[in-house]
């Protein structure tokens, strides 16, 4: 059990390709234990292996809240098999200390992965929850994608990044997400015309980072 160093935005390992885990060996189990220790030490709700310098397809989550108890979870070689809908997510990331911004996310997501014993499982969290957000955020880390790549307000975010002495947005990394853009626009215009409740922000804004 050890607390590992969390790498910060700007470190190339966060953009590097990750390798599938062939066998859940003792070494992998130790890495997972250390990832939990590191995540809890930083008061985070999720952590992906690249954030501790390991280019492996592993992430851990603990999205328990007062109202939604949940067991800590390990995702090995995860695959997102379904995604739809949209929500505006207020997120942080342990590799961006102190930075919280609004990003675009899918509301519904289904993920398949293996647990710490190598057993396959499938999970479909309630739409628009902290868990739904965290799964997408951590899965992205395994693809070399960072939450700022889903940014809504690029220049506003640059100001926040500068204030935290982090590199600014890499414009070529911003994702083209027409489906999410359209969904978000429709949601906001409905809210403005009073036909629906304002765009719901995720409760990730308890300012927990992943």
Residues known to be catalytic: 138
What residues make contact with Ni ion under the rule CB under 5 A?
93, 210
Quote the least distance from Cβ 52 to Ni ion, whole Å.
11
- Closer residue to Ni ion (CB): 92 or 187: 92
Quote the least distance from Cβ 141 to Ni ion, whole Å.
6
Quote the least distance from Cβ 205 to Ni ion, whole Å.
15
With 0-12 / 13-18 / 19 or more C-beta atoms within 10 angstroms meaning exposed / middle / buried, residue 95 is buried
Tell me the C-alpha distance between 120 and 110, whole Å.
13
| Closest residue to Ni ion in the complex (CB) | 93
Tell me the C-alpha distance between 6 and 17, whole Å.
18
- Closer residue to Ni ion (CB): 6 or 107: 6
Q: CA torsion, points 185, 92, 77, 112, in degrees to nearest 10?
A: -50
Quote the least distance from Cβ 93 to Ni ion, whole Å.
3
Closest to 42 measured CA to CA, from 34, 54, 50: 34
Q: CB neighbours of 15 closer than 8 A, spacing ≥ 6?
A: 144, 146
Instruction: Give the Cβ contact number of residue 186 at 10 Å.
Output: 13
- Closer residue to Ni ion (CB): 73 or 210: 210
Q: CB neighbours of 20 closer than 8 A, spacing ≥ 6?
A: 57, 77
- Closer residue to Ni ion (CB): 7 or 191: 7
């Amino acid at each position: 059990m050890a607390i590992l160093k969390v790498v910060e935005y700007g470190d190339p390992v966060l953009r590097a390709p990750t390798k599938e885990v062939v066998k859940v060996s003792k070494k992998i189990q130790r890495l997972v234990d250390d990832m939990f220790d590191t995540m809890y030490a930083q008061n985070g709700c999720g952590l992906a292996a690249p954030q501790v310098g390991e280019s492996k397809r592993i992430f851990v989550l603990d999205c328990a809240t007062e109202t939604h108890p949940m067991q800590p979870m390990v995702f090995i070689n995860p695959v997102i098999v379904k995604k739809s809908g949209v929500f505006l997510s207020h997120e942080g990331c342990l590799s961006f200390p102190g930075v919280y911004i609004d990003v675009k996310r899918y509301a519904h997501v289904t993920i398949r992965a293996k647990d710490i014993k190598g057993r396959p499982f499938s999970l479909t969290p309630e739409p628009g929850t902290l868990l739904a957000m965290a799964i997408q955020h951590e899965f992205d880390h395994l693809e070399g994608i960072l939450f700022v790549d889903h940014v809504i307000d690029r220049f506003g975010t640059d100001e926040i990044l500068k204030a935290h002495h982090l590199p600014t947005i890499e414009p070529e990394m911003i994702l083209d997400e027409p489906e999410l853009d359209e969904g978000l626009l429709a949601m906001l215009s409905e809210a403005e015309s009073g036909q629906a409740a304002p765009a719901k922000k995720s409760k990730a804004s308890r300012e927990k980072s992943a």
